[in-house]
Amino acid sequence: MKLTSWGKYPLIETTLASPANEALALAALEGGGALIGRGLGRSYGDSALNDHLVLSSLRLNFIESFDEESGVLVAGAGVSLAEILDAFVPRGWFLPVTPGTKFVSLGGAVASDVHGKDHHVAATFSRHVEWLDLWTPATGLIRCSDTENSDIFHATAGAHGLTGFILRVALRLQKIPSAFIKQKMVKTGNLDAIMDTFERYAGLPFTVAWIDCLQSGKGLGRSIFMGGSFAEKEELPARYRLRPYQPPSPKALAVPFDFPSFALNSFSVKAFNAFYYGKAPKELKKSIVSYNSFFYPLDSIHNWNRIYGRRGFTQYQFVLPKETSVFGLADILKTIAESGQGSFLAVLKLFGKQPVFDGNISFPMRGYTLALDFPITKKLFPLLDRLDAMVLECGGRHYLTKDARMSGEVLRRGYGPALGDFLAIKKRLDPEGRFVSLQARRLGLV
């Protein structure tokens, strides 16, 4: 069958298997041959694709236990973050870390070791994982955690499926005072101002900014900063105070067909400008919004990736160490603005400290990360090659879950010796290199 991921590029011919239970999944794993795990296909590029066999976790979708004391939830790798929210927000629990969409699987969240708006206080998803059940060719089914088979655990978080197949995840949820966020928005006129704003609001658990990539000169880095924290019950408007865990449900919109390519940009430009030039004061305090609109603004438009049309798109996400961020980001933003190719809006975030473990290749490091969408065109890849060089020069690196085109050399230089340590563990767990994605092959990881 034909298969692709969120960026709709590449589109390949392959076999997708969705075993209905653990025994069938183990049989498929023990069957031999090349394969890669897959969840909800929200990675943008080719990390969940393989032309031989793609093994889906989606039918391993049982919630198995929940401990009201510790907040530890045990569930199959195919359970989505959206399902966890549906079940546990009404009882006052939330995810410890969430990406910008809730339509990702537990397995995918671990495999990409995803980060959220709270990276500066909570680090990545795997830091909140109590343990995993993983299958690897060398060990068979094995439980691993920070304390048990920790080398395997650390190599698996962020490995993009290359160490084995995740069957089950034990995740610690966090208790919340309500399902609403106290949101703060700040308009900032340039790069210095947005960086100051991130520092000033570092005490807030959730921070992120939309940055206007078409600006150069004085307005370079013009942004809207958004910070937030969960609202206490007493802070809610009266109509929500009685039911603090039941925010109004988001209205679903669907994009019914592949849009012509220009639509999304004009859509987001309007929203950004409406706010930026609107009457709102420079610093907007205390708007109370539901968790859905704060964390998942795009999820209410199903299949928004179709807005980019049939050719597909790619997301380019990198992180620069904090020391080089000021100059590095300025140069990179200038290059993008001059190329006239970038998406109008990009997401900027200041990562906090990321714990370091042997063999771990999770993406974040302390510093600024920028994520932007590019529609796929002929002119795009040469531009991205130039950006790659600039990122490396600053000591930065790229996020594999967004990547569909980088070279092995760029990956190696970005991740440095950690990559070698990772590959050594991969070799031990998977000596014949059975777990292989198109991305891993392109990057020379197998």
Partner 1 sequence: MATMLILGAASDIARATALAFANDGWDLILAGRQPEILDKIATDIALRSGRRVKTAHFDALRSEEHAVFWQGAEEEVSALFCAVGLLGDQEKAQADMDQATAILQTNFTGLLPILSLAANTFEKRGRGLIIAISSVAGDRGRASNYFYGSAKAGLTAFLSGLRNRLAKKGVDVITVKPGFVATAMTADMALPIKLTATPKQVATDIVKAARKKHDVIYSRWFWRYIMLIVDHIPEKIFKKLKL
Ligand X SMILES: Cc1cc2nc3c(=O)[nH]c(=O)nc-3n(C[C@H](O)[C@H](O)[C@H](O)COP(=O)(O)OP(=O)(O)OC[C@H]3O[C@@H](n4cnc5c(N)ncnc54)[C@H](O)[C@@H]3O)c2cc1C
Interaction site with ligand X (CB under 6 A): 5-6, 36-43, 47-48, 57, 77, 99-101, 104-105, 107-109, 111-112, 114-116, 160-161, 165-166, 298, 401, 437
Per the listing, tokens 């020391």 go with: 323
CB closer to partner 1, 14 vs 190: 14
H-helix segments, 290-416:
291-295, 322-339, 380-393, 408-415
Query: Interface residues with partner 1 (CB under 8 A)?
Result: 20-21, 62-66, 83, 86-87, 90-91
CB of 409 to ligand X, least distance (A): 21
Cα Rg of the chain (Å, integer)? 21
Considering beta carbons, is residue 66 or 276 the nearer one to partner 1? Answer: 66
> Please, what is the minimum distance in Å from the beta carbon of residue 289 to ligand X?
17
Query: In the bound complex, what is the minimum distance in angstroms from residue 105's beta carbon to ligand X?
Result: 3
How far CA 180 is from CA of 280, 376, 384, in Å, comes to 21, 37, 38
- Picking from 96, 109, 127, the residue whose alpha carbon sits closest to that of residue 166 is 109
Task: Kindly tell me which of 108 and 342 has the beta carbon lying closer to ligand X.
Answer: 108
Give one DSSP letter per residue of 252-280, joined into a string.
Answer: PEE--S---TTHHHHHHHHHHHHHHSSSS
CA-to-CA distance for 207 and 157, rounded, in angstroms?
23
Number of Cβ within a 10 Å radius of residue 288: 17
What is the distance between the alpha carbons of residues 314 and 45, in angstroms, rounded to a whole number?
Answer: 7
Q: Supply the minimum distance, in Å, between the C-beta of residue 69 and ligand X.
A: 28
CA distance 116 to 100: 7
Is residue 434 within 8 Å of 137, Cβ to Cβ?
yes
Query: If contact means CB under 5 to 8 A according to the sort of partner, which of ligand X, partner 1, none does residue 66 touch?
Result: partner 1
- Comparison of 20 and 242: residue with beta carbon closer to partner 1: 20
Query: CB 212 → ligand X: shortest distance, Å?
Result: 19
Cβ 387 to partner 1 shortest distance, Å: 37
Q: How far is the CB of 278 from ligand X (least distance, A)?
A: 25
Contacts of 163 (CB under 8 A, 6+ apart): 134, 136, 152, 155, 156, 425, 426, 429, 430, 435
Distance between alpha carbon 85 and the CA centroid of its chain, in Å?
A: 17
CB of 408 to ligand X, least distance (A): 16
Choosing among ligand X, partner 1, none, which partner's interface includes residue 161 (Cβ < 5 to 8 Å by kind)? ligand X
State which residue, 68 or 234, has the beta carbon closest to partner 1.
Answer: 68
Which of ligand X, partner 1, none binds 359 (CB below 5-8 Å, type-dependent)? none
- C-beta closer to ligand X: residue 220 or 391: 391
Name which of ligand X, partner 1, none residue 83 binds, using a CB cut-off of 5 to 8 Å depending on partner kind: partner 1
Which CB atom, from 115 or from 413, has the smaller least distance to ligand X? 115
Nearer to ligand X by Cβ, of 177 and 250: the residue is: 250
Taking alpha carbons only, the member of 123, 115, 75 closest to residue 98 is: 115
165 binds, options ligand X, partner 1, none, Cβ within 5 to 8 A by partner type:
ligand X
Of ligand X, partner 1, none, which one sits near residue 401, judging by CB under 5 to 8 A according to partner kind? ligand X
